[in-house]
Structure 1
């Protein structure tokens, strides 16, 4: 990777300068290289000379010139750069030697790099309540988690993907209560759609019939005990919903290795073991007075165990066992994470759900699942505090290494634009910038409905139906729409905007990839090119070609940054710019016209674009079609 090679060499020369001067290097000094905005400033640039000026008591330009001289004498980073320049006020700019770059191993596709020997990563994502159809907010979670799993696997990690199923929660209980005590009429294409309406109806019924709320407790108790008619009904509802949700996710190329049911955690005795471990620490105790009397609470190290009296959510997250003996979600999550890291003697048994997918079960066989070195949880920002409590529990129990390897990929929720909200019948007279989806009110965009609508949009705009299906293009477009935003951004979902096929869209990327394929296919059929070697020629490089190659050269470090930062949006931004630059190149530089030398040169560029875009699309979970 060019940037890494460049940074390492600058580091070596800077270290030598400190040793020669007898001045101690500051511990916080970091050497960074960047991509200049303007090509005239080089393909890479460093401001290290300006950082060193006060320390070495020399002018920045003098230091930059000295570094330039040292690097030129050393072969200017293995010949990868044709020149460097020290410019005021002290930048050191580097210009790639494109012939060397093209003939080396620095262009895409990059090679996988195996991390440390301990390199198993457990990624948990999706985790939708099994009580109704999934909506577009759930899909954002799944798309993020799936792309992260692909990126980590590409980087050489062993990746195991889990989908946590909360089959003991209030939401499932509410749906069961709704089925038993409300009436939902109509024809529904799927059970999840029926449950969507039923869940909304029972929440309305709770307001009109407060006594009905007691039925929720009855159902909760039944499904937790797991032995009654109600328990079987809850299990059947959950299983049917999960099967439909998994089928929906398959449409988007999303899959899992393991389904972990919350009931399995309880019945496998994970909490009993965890309680025993926590009880040996000073940070876990039973409250004897006040509002939390009778509760078992995990103290917060940063606060000395004091709980703010005015923050009920904060209190609830710290309480692990309520005074009535009921476990909080956080308690079960702590036990689950101890298992994830292989820190419990208890274990699940598994049954086969379908090919390639295992599920925890009451009876089954042992499998080599879990025992991760790193755990990544994809959960929206509202779950930040519970995630911190899990990490705190690991620290309290002395598992500092595991706590440091627990990563919460937090992201902004999906809400509805005013136009989309109005289209769903919401009251938008308050003129808010966005409106929250609400399962309790039956308000939201279901995944299946969005996919169906997008497929119709795609189908209507396709002049030819060659290549992949309209539904595959639709799924890719929706996936890209949900991935292109930075993680912390709240996605204000607009139905019209989400179904666009021009501009920064998944469809635009697919067309660029298909175009590169079409050019290369035509070249294979061209009699003039049957015996000609496709090769790069730096002497023929025009501006559009240079801009394109410059961007391709940045792909390995872009991918590394995206993987390190767990940020799929970086790949989206990169892929869109690559597609845009390729289309500009295609318009300005006819690939299959001109001299043989020019044609083979541009075919090489087209091949390289295709390889790079192919890799990016696969990591984003999008198809790589030969034709559209």
Structure 2
């Protein structure tokens, strides 16, 4: 990476300056570089001299001058850096020798020999998926692509909660809540059954007892209710996989919650936890009979022991039913390969495996790192899983457990009104609710966006309107910072200008068109030996391209898909600015060769970014 080469040279120079003062660079002081907002201040800059002022007891401007002198003695550095300038009050501004940069092959840092398990999607298998579920899947799939691009071995899990209340509600509804409506898919039918059942609970409280019976039956298995639950769950999971595949989202393994319980994984985890002082069965009070994972402190962070998320987390209820967190703890012990027990596996589809009571052995699990993509509301249960790992002595594994938390998707007032929600209270957003049947199903969303794009596009060649719609939706859900609540608005999602998926695809198609026309006239995108004096737009584009590897590494470290989106949007903006300001195919010969080469470097970089984001690379729009 370019930045690593620069930082290594700077560190050598800084260490020599420190040694000349009889000291060394403190561990607390790190040499960092950044791209100044204005190109007048160089391609990269560092404030290391100002950080050293107190250490060396010299003026920053003087320290910067000494570092500059050391850098001027470092020949490999000067092959890549055209100039090192000192600027008040003590900055060092560096200008890249771009011909040298273009001639070097910079590599990403080698990824550790680690296997990462990324769990995402994990939708309750009781009804069709909605746009909120899709945000989870798009984030998770982009992290899979990102970590693979960085060189990691990645295994993708989709956890199927086939023992939970939601599936039980749908089963109760199928048996006790008649519904006669036309539906194209089973999941859509169950969407309406689920909401109708939750309404029926308030009218007929006796139905709640049926849910308890179904929950017990699902957990025990091997009876009528359990088989009905399995048939419902499997049918809906297949529909979910079909929906996600349209977005390029795929999985390696489906892990069924029922497998964890029925194959004895929780029993193993239970025995391990019983040997720790933090796992106890309560004998009195409101949690009497429950097995809880206790924390030190006695009260929750708010000082309220009665809070929903109290400091003592129930893992087994007094009636013997396991909580979601209990099964999740067992699942994570298996993920890390520390449970001394494994599943059997079968093919669920051609490319997706599933846990099974019988089947064959496969090398799943045994992760070095686990990344869970779950919304911010699951922060507490995720913390409890980490605490359980720590209490069992698996400290390293707990440290390598990453929760990618994100804000939920809600509806804009106009989107809510379209669904029949009363928006007279004037709220800025409205929550979706599966229990109330309020939400935008993924299939309906694709159809709506496809219709808008089909009506507004003039050129119907190239990508289909449906492919463009899917790319637009995916990018729309990725470009927001993780913690941001996405307020979905159909008009905003289908815009074709600005920071949108359509804009990125259009930019790629434009660059490819330029390269095809250049090739037809005999100009190949070969790197020129000598660069002409660059226009500002050319320099800005090249400067931004050079940060791609840094963006990949930073996004991987921070697990941030939006960082890739920000880079890619800015990249396309700089290219379209270059395209407008600098005639490419009509330029003089030397300039023509350079601009065609620069266009090809842009196309390759954008293509790499689009692949990480899970977006297509169209030949025309």
**Partner residue, 2:93:** 93
- Return the offset for 1:471: 1.2
- Between the aligned partners of 1:38 and 1:251, the Cα distance in structure 2 is 42
Q: Check if 1:285 corresponds to 2:280.
A: yes
For these two proteins, the number of residue pairs brought into alignment is 621
**Partner residue, 2:176:** 181
- Return the offset for 1:112: 5.1
Does the aligned pair in 2 maintain the 1:375–1:407 contact within 8 Å?
yes
Does the aligned pair in 2 maintain the 1:307–1:314 contact within 8 Å?
no
Does the aligned pair in 2 maintain the 1:268–1:346 contact within 8 Å?
no
Deviations 1:214-270 (A, max 9, x none): 111111111112111111111111111100010000110000000000000101111
Q: Check if 1:49 corresponds to 2:49.
A: yes
**Partner residue, 2:534:** 541
Aligned pairs for 1:440-589 (under 5 A) are: 440-526=435-521, 528-529=522-523, 533=526, 535=528, 537-589=530-582
TM-score by length of 2: 0.97
Q: Check if 1:246 corresponds to 2:271.
A: no
- Return the offset for 1:489: 0.7
- Return the offset for 1:294: 1.4
**Partner residue, 2:110:** 114
- Between the aligned partners of 2:3 and 2:395, the Cα distance in structure 1 is 33
- Return the offset for 1:19: 2.9
Aligned pairs for 1:238-317 (under 5 A) are: 238-301=233-296, 310-315=305-310
- Between the aligned partners of 1:24 and 1:585, the Cα distance in structure 2 is 45
Does the aligned pair in 1 maintain the 2:84–2:94 contact within 8 Å?
yes
**Partner residue, 2:10:** 10
- Between the aligned partners of 2:531 and 2:298, the Cα distance in structure 1 is 63
Q: Name which of structure 1's ranges 134-143 and 421-430 shifts more when overlaid on structure 2.
A: 421-430
Q: Check if 1:126 corresponds to 2:121.
A: yes
Q: Name which of structure 1's ranges 19-28 and 198-207 shifts more when overlaid on structure 2.
A: 19-28
- Return the offset for 1:379: 0.4
Aligned pairs for 1:79-478 (under 5 A) are: 79-106=79-106, 111=107, 113-117=109-113, 119-301=114-296, 310-315=305-310, 318-478=313-473
Q: Check if 1:20 corresponds to 2:20.
A: yes
Q: Secondary structure at the match of 2:77?
A: coil
- Between the aligned partners of 2:571 and 2:237, the Cα distance in structure 1 is 38
Does the aligned pair in 2 maintain the 1:421–1:435 contact within 8 Å?
yes
- Return the offset for 1:461: 2.2
- Return the offset for 1:538: 2.4
- Between the aligned partners of 1:586 and 1:452, the Cα distance in structure 2 is 34
**Partner residue, 2:75:** 75
Q: Name which of structure 1's ranges 453-462 and 126-135 shifts more when overlaid on structure 2.
A: 453-462
Q: Which runs of 5+ in 2 are unaligned?
A: none
Q: Secondary structure at the match of 2:84?
A: strand
- Between the aligned partners of 1:68 and 1:130, the Cα distance in structure 2 is 63
Question: Structure 1 residues 38, 112: CA separation in 2 closer, same or farther (over 3 Å shift)?
Answer: closer
- Between the aligned partners of 1:18 and 1:288, the Cα distance in structure 2 is 64
Q: Secondary structure at the match of 2:446?
A: helix
Question: Structure 1 residues 328, 533: CA separation in 2 closer, same or farther (over 3 Å shift)?
Answer: closer
Q: Name which of structure 1's ranges 221-230 and 482-491 shifts more when overlaid on structure 2.
A: 221-230
Q: Which runs of 5+ in 1 are unaligned?
A: none
Question: Structure 1 residues 50, 113: CA separation in 2 closer, same or farther (over 3 Å shift)?
Answer: closer
- What value does the CA root-mean-square deviation take over the aligned residues? 1.7
Question: Structure 1 residues 132, 379: CA separation in 2 closer, same or farther (over 3 Å shift)?
Answer: same
TM-score by length of 1: 0.96
- Between the aligned partners of 2:147 and 2:140, the Cα distance in structure 1 is 11
- Between the aligned partners of 1:307 and 1:497, the Cα distance in structure 2 is 39
Question: Structure 1 residues 406, 57: CA separation in 2 closer, same or farther (over 3 Å shift)?
Answer: same
- Return the offset for 1:24: 5.3
Does the aligned pair in 1 maintain the 2:471–2:502 contact within 8 Å?
yes
- Between the aligned partners of 1:384 and 1:477, the Cα distance in structure 2 is 29
Q: Check if 1:596 corresponds to 2:592.
A: no
Does the aligned pair in 2 maintain the 1:317–1:330 contact within 8 Å?
no
Q: Secondary structure at the match of 1:540?
A: coil
Q: Name which of structure 1's ranges 162-171 and 535-544 shifts more when overlaid on structure 2.
A: 535-544
Question: Structure 1 residues 317, 383: CA separation in 2 closer, same or farther (over 3 Å shift)?
Answer: farther
- Return the offset for 1:42: 0.6
- Return the offset for 1:360: 0.6
- Between the aligned partners of 1:307 and 1:396, the Cα distance in structure 2 is 23
Q: Secondary structure at the match of 1:86?
A: strand
- Between the aligned partners of 1:83 and 1:143, the Cα distance in structure 2 is 43
**Partner residue, 2:604:** 611
- Between the aligned partners of 1:345 and 1:29, the Cα distance in structure 2 is 44
Q: Name which of structure 1's ranges 132-141 and 533-542 shifts more when overlaid on structure 2.
A: 533-542
Question: Structure 1 residues 308, 351: CA separation in 2 closer, same or farther (over 3 Å shift)?
Answer: farther
Q: Secondary structure at the match of 2:159?
A: strand
- Between the aligned partners of 1:441 and 1:536, the Cα distance in structure 2 is 66
